[in-house]
Amino acid sequence: MSTEEKKRSINRLKSMYPLRALMDKNYKAAQDAKKEGKPVAWCMQESYASPFLNAIDLDSVYPENYGTLCAATGAATPFLERSEAEGFPSHLCGYAQNCLGYTAQMADLDWEIPPGSPQGGIPKPVILVGSGMGCDARFKWFQALGRYMDVPLWVIEFPTAFGKENLMEGAHERSIQFLIKELKGFAAFLEKLTGRKMDWAKLREDVDNTMSMDAVWWEINELRVARPGPMHSRDFWSSMSASLFRTTDPEGVTELYRSMLEEVKHRVKNKISAINVEEKYRMTFIGLPPWHALKFFDQLAERGWNFVTEWAYHPPRPIDLTGIEDPVERLVRYRHQGTGHLIDVSFSPEEAAKIKKEMGQQDSMSQLVLKPILDFKIDGGFLHPLLTCRTATASLNLLGESMIKKFHVPFISIEGDIVDTRLFDPVDALRKAEAFEETMDHYKEIRKEAGLEW
């Protein structure tokens, strides 16, 4: 081990590096596709789009992910400034502003990549695939791109009732049937747009391979309950893109995840921690991370903060779909699992019945949502309110308050942003974090008095 490696406070997984490198390859693939005259699509992650695009031989490009890349490399600022100059308010989604500014610049250059764009940039698409999932930006932003590009936009719906309304008789199944119909309409549109036929066998293979890939990724994350935590959130964030931002090679990615699974298993068995000092505080990160300031977590690791889990970007829970042959239905039932089902598989039958009965009478902060606090024996929550992302911010305080109320687990809230480097102050954040340690120590005592395990 080199001296430099010894100094690192986070014990990075070796199996993470090839997963992280995959995204670079994806950008290169999109550029090569464009050079070869192959069309590419811009789409939103978790939008169902990629398996369909793969099955009709269109390369997927993810402007959201490109936003994180621009942020991490410091390249976002001129794009953000251009977006503002175009008249878009500066509080809009940072990823969207980055993309709007980038596209406006590309339009100026007759669709050449703006010089200095990280990873060689993203080429002009032939279709935009928006999504109703997650936030309004994911279709409003693509619609706003119509100011610069004459490419068609298809918006894939995503029903969003997950409370007691989802438990009403027939409600979830109706949303499943709606999505199946939507996606079949999307496939028909792609055929019309490209003049090619969907390769349904390829779609089926792709969906199944994706499910297999995600199952391994899911298993890795389940192992993270171990004490000491074997995998830090930084490794999670570096590895998740391979699952979230789909590649055309899910089998290859699965192998990389399998390698990671073995490494994490080895760490669990041998009690090897993700941080190179004593694990004093087991942390959960709530929100979207400051991509441009991830080194901040190294400073926290030096103080014994181990980020053992996080609340965003996890894969769907594995589900048995035996007997369902239609690949579209398989995909929908996999990605769009109902509240009732998730409660059933996460709790004992008695607990599940009680939770559903209570929800039916009056919504409460779902025990499903709070379950990781208990499973991972969390000491503190790190909330990250974002100036440019309402969706990842609006419920943070509610979650934090619920953690305190239910499990006596306190939280710290540090404002920042996903893209704009100016909105995160690491010095001030570290000062607050140091003070927060006393709070976490205090609540450890309270939990002990309340008879909680940790």
Partner 1 sequence: METQTTQGLARVKEICQDRPRRAMELRDQGKKVMGYLCIYPVVEIMTALDLVPYRIFGDMRETVTKADKYLPSVVCPFLRSLLDLGLKGKYDFLDGVTFAHTCDVGAQFAGNWKINIRTPFSHFVDIPHTTHEGARDYHKGLLMDYKKAMESYFGITISSERLKKAIEMHNQQRSLVRDLYDLKKPDPPLISGAETLQVLVAIMSLPVEEGNTLLMAVIEEVKDRKDGPVKKSSRLLVWGSIIDDPALLEMIESFDANVVMDDTCVGSRAFFTDVALTEDPLDGLADHYLVDIKCPRTYQESAHGEMKIDYMADLRNRFDYLGDYVRDYKVDGVILQALRYCDAHGYEVPGIKDYLESLGLQSIYIEHNYTEAAFGPLRTRVQGFLEIID
Q: Is 439 in the site for partner 1 (CB under 8 A)?
A: no
Q: Is 46 in the site for partner 1 (CB under 8 A)?
A: no
Of 178, 313, 347, 454, the one binding partner 1 (CB under 8 A) is: 178
Number of residues that bind partner 1 (CB under 8 A): 64
Q: Is 87 in the site for partner 1 (CB under 8 A)?
A: yes
Per-residue x/- track, 344-373, partner 1 (CB under 8 A): ------------------xxxx--------
Q: Is 171 in the site for partner 1 (CB under 8 A)?
A: yes
The burial class, CB within 10 Å (0-12 / 13-18 / 19+), for 347 is middle
- The answer to whether residues 307 and 405 touch, using CB atoms and an 8 Å cutoff, is no
**Closer residue to partner 1 in complex, CB, 277/365:** 365
Q: Where are the alpha helices (DSSP H) in 270-425?
A: 296-302, 327-335, 339-346, 349-361, 367-376, 396-407
128 forms bridges with which residues in the sheet? 42, 153
- Cα–Cα distance, 398 to 311 (Å, whole number): 14
Number of C-beta neighbours around residue 14 at 10 A: 10
- Single out the segment in contact with partner 1 by CB under 8 A; choices: 51-59, 164-172, 252-260, 311-319: 164-172
Of 33, 72, 107, 193, the one binding partner 1 (CB under 8 A) is: 193
Of 227, 356, 390, 447, the one binding partner 1 (CB under 8 A) is: 390
Of 77, 248, 259, 413, the one binding partner 1 (CB under 8 A) is: 413
Of 151, 272, 374, 430, the one binding partner 1 (CB under 8 A) is: 151
Q: Is 191 in the site for partner 1 (CB under 8 A)?
A: no
Distance of CA 108 to the CA centre of its chain: 32
Of 208, 255, 302, 415, the one binding partner 1 (CB under 8 A) is: 415
Q: Is 385 in the site for partner 1 (CB under 8 A)?
A: yes
Q: Hey, what long-range contacts does 329-334 have (CB within 8 A, 24 or more apart)?
A: 329/176, 329/180, 330/204, 330/207, 330/208, 330/211, 331/48, 331/51, 331/183, 331/207, 332/48, 332/176, 332/179, 332/180, 332/183, 333/176, 334/207, 334/211
User: What amino acid is encoded at 82 in this protein?
Assistant: R
Number of C-beta neighbours around residue 377 at 10 A: 18
Q: Is 182 in the site for partner 1 (CB under 8 A)?
A: yes
Per-residue x/- track, 91-110, partner 1 (CB under 8 A): xxx--x--------------
- Single out the segment in contact with partner 1 by CB under 8 A; choices: 112-120, 262-270, 388-396, 433-441: 388-396
Q: Is 295 in the site for partner 1 (CB under 8 A)?
A: no
Please state, in angstroms and as integers, the Cα–Cα distance from residue 265 to each residue in 21, 307, 409, following that order. Answer: 22, 18, 28
**Closer residue to partner 1 in complex, CB, 21/168:** 168
Q: Is 450 in the site for partner 1 (CB under 8 A)?
A: no
- The answer to whether residues 356 and 340 touch, using CB atoms and an 8 Å cutoff, is yes
174, two tokens: 């109706």
Q: Is 386 in the site for partner 1 (CB under 8 A)?
A: yes
Distance of CA 203 to the CA centre of its chain: 23
Give the position of tokens 């929908």.
332
Spatial CA neighbour of 117 closest among 75, 78, 83, 77: 75
Spatial CA neighbour of 10 closest among 378, 431, 307: 307
Q: Is 432 in the site for partner 1 (CB under 8 A)?
A: no
**Closer residue to partner 1 in complex, CB, 274/383:** 383
- The answer to whether residues 264 and 308 touch, using CB atoms and an 8 Å cutoff, is no
Q: Which of residues 325-344 bind partner 1 (CB under 8 A)?
A: none
Of 18, 78, 118, 132, the one binding partner 1 (CB under 8 A) is: 132
Of 25, 181, 357, 422, the one binding partner 1 (CB under 8 A) is: 181
Q: Is 175 in the site for partner 1 (CB under 8 A)?
A: yes
- Cα–Cα distance, 173 to 171 (Å, whole number): 6
- The answer to whether residues 153 and 43 touch, using CB atoms and an 8 Å cutoff, is no
- Cα–Cα distance, 152 to 128 (Å, whole number): 6
Q: Is 89 in the site for partner 1 (CB under 8 A)?
A: yes
Least Å from the CB of residue 399 to partner 1: 10
Least Å from the CB of residue 134 to partner 1: 8
Q: Which residues bind partner 1 (CB under 8 A)?
A: 86-89, 91-93, 96, 130, 132, 134-137, 139-141, 143-144, 146-147, 149-155, 157, 159-161, 163, 165, 168, 171, 174-175, 178, 181-182, 185, 189, 192-193, 362-365, 385-387, 390-391, 393-398, 401-402, 413, 415
